[in-house]
């Protein structure tokens, strides 16, 4: 057993509104280990790590670093003690170069001026020392997601981090980028760094981590050697029940075409083509998946289909109607539902109640209002039914949605969008950042809708999710479709990754013939 580096003892965190996020949680790290932290959304993981990084102060409890009691009142205190955090959503300035981001807040000076050459030298030195190779003079906005991840890790190392907290570090990486990251993390571990690995991807936890702390309901369920527990056992401890990790889908005879996209092109802000003659079609009872590294046109495709963005050329038909001149509400009235990627910015109004969020897409219809007043009783009945059906952890329909965990907020969005009996569901990253139990519930809902003849467009960076659920699969790279597969279950994640990285590409005419059956 390695020496204990850091201890958090009997941590309690109670927020002013009475929510208890951590209840007597103890957590420890050994020097030179990769330690997984797992649990459902709302289990208390994020709060515990915010306390460790000085973003929150505990209501009760103590922390010790190398046996010495410490108190962290800010992230700067944590950084000064060698604790760094790489957030799931990168904290980089896109218009700055890698070197400028690397020294942000600790800029080297030459006289009174910023010493850019020294920033480049520092970046190169740490890049070589830790085998995290980046181009110091490249603008961050031009980097791949995998390279941005490296820059974030290097930023923490430049600031002296010996303990690194990584929050969902592989959420948007291809299998190849994930494998590369794991090699780099092993090198950091060998160099004496200690890593906290927060992830919902249990296969990756098994592949990279030494120990795992599992949390549920604000408490610690136990600490285990990763080699001694299976993925199924970890899931059971996280959720409190057995979790299905693979899905059986019934064979389907597909119905009429509900979504028909032909030769769709879109221009970006600078006149560049962000979509290049994209074509796809989805029939009743069919789930069509789209895989691709983020930033390769998936988001723009969704924006065009849902009416958020004007079409430059090509056509989009929803339920046989051209949507090019329709607004968002009119497109929704054709039977479209939409689970957006960003539940905070697009999916919810976080300052209002769950019930108001539940009816936000339908309140204009006569069945929900009298013309003057909302039918509140009926709204509450709907909301409570969906809360029960989706196992949303809340005090009731009137609770402000912003008080829910991320996973429970996502369940509200999926519950709202799936409860309108849609003809077409556009599901964009539907389980991003949610735990294995919530993901299972959302997956089963999408399969159930498939059985009810809903056509589904599934955009996901989770390759296991997209291979498990899709009936057919498209891969996008640099704004175009580079691969089409009518039997995704036969694909490996590694082969799919080669298409996502643009290393492999199918013939354009072959793809077009396959898409239109």
Q: What is the pLDDT of residues 355-374, one digit of tens each?
A: 888 877 777 777 777 667 76
Q: Cα(136)–Cα(367) distance, rounded to whole angstroms?
A: 59
| Ranges of residues in the chain whose predicted pLDDT is under 70 | 1, 241-245, 370-371, 374, 516-517
Q: Cα(198)–Cα(149) distance, rounded to whole angstroms?
A: 15
Q: Token pair for residue 31?
A: 């020097």
This prediction has a pTM of 0.72
Cβ(488)–Cβ(290) under 8 Å?
no
Q: Token pair for residue 452?
A: 């009810």
pLDDT for position 323:
94
Q: Cα(217)–Cα(470) distance, rounded to whole angstroms?
A: 32
Cβ(457)–Cβ(374) under 8 Å?
no
Answer left, alpha or beta for residue 403, where phi above 0 means left and psi between -120 and 50 means alpha: alpha
Q: Is 265 exposed, middle or buried (0-12, 13-18, 19+ CB in 10 A)?
A: middle
Q: Token pair for residue 513?
A: 């013939």
Polymer length of the chain = 517
pLDDT for position 121:
94
Q: Cα(44)–Cα(56) distance, rounded to whole angstroms?
A: 13
């Amino acid at each position: 057993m390695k020496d204990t580096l850091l201890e958090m003892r009997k941590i309690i965190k109670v927020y002013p509104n009475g929510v208890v996020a951590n209840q007597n949680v103890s957590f420890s790290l050994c020097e030179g280990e990769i330690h997984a932290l797992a649990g459902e959304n709302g289990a208390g993981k994020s709060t515990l790590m915010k306390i460790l990084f000085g973003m929150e102060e505990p209501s009760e409890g103590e922390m010790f670093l190398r046996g010495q009691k410490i108190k962290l009142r800010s992230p700067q205190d944590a950084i000064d003690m060698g604790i760094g955090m790489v957030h799931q959503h990168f904290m980089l300035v896109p218009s700055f170069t890698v070197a400028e981001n690397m020294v942000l807040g600790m800029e080297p000076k030459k006289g009174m001026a910023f010493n850019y050459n020294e920033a480049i030298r520092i970046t190169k030195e740490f890049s070589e020392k830790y085998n995290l190779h980046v181009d110091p003079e490249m603008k961050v906005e031009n980097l791949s997601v995998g390279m941005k991840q490296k820059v974030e890790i290097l930023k923490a190392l430049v600031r002296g981090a010996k303990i690194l907290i990584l929050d969902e570090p592989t959420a948007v990486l291809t299998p190849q980028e994930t494998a590369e990251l794991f090699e780099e993390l092993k090198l950091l571990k060998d160099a004496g760094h200690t890593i906290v690995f927060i992830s919902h991807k249990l296969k990756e936890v098994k592949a990279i981590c030494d120990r795992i702390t599992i949390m549920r309901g604000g408490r610690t369920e136990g600490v285990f050697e990763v080699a001694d527990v299976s993925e199924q056992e970890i899931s059971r401890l996280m959720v409190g029940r057995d979790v299905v990790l693979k899905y059986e889908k019934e064979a389907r005879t597909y119905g009429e075409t509900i979504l028909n996209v032909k030769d769709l092109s879109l221009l970006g802000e600078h006149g560049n083509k962000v979509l290049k003659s994209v074509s796809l079609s989805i029939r009743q009872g069919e789930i069509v998946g789209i895989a691709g590294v983020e930033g390769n046109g998936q988001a723009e495709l969704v924006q065009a289909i849902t009416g958020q963005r004007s079409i430059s050329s090509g056509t989009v038909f929803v339920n046989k109607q051209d949507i090019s001149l329709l607004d968002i509400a009119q497109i929704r009235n054709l039977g479209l539902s939409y689970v957006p990627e960003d539940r905070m910015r697009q999916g919810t109004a976080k300052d209002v109640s769950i019930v108001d969020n539940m009816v936000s897409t339908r309140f204009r219809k006569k069945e929900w209002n009298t013309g003057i007043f909302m039918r509140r009783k009926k709204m509450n009945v709907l909301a409570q039914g969906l809360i029960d059906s989706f196992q949303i952890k809340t005090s009731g329909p009137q609770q402000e949605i912003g008080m829910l965990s991320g996973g429970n907020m996502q369940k509200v969005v999926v519950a709202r969008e799936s409860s309108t009996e849609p003809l077409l569901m556009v599901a964009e990253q539907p389980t991003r950042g949610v735990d294995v139990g919530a993901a299972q519930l959302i997956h089963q809902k999408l399969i159930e809708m498939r059985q009810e003849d809903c056509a589904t467009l599934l955009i996901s960076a989770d390759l296991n999710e997209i291979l498990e659920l899709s009936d057919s699969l498209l891969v996008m790279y640099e704004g175009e479709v580079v691969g089409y597969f009518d039997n995704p279950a036969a694909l490996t994640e590694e082969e799919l990754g080669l298409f996502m990285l643009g290393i492999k590409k199918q013939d354009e005419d072959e793809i077009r013939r396959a898409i239109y059956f």
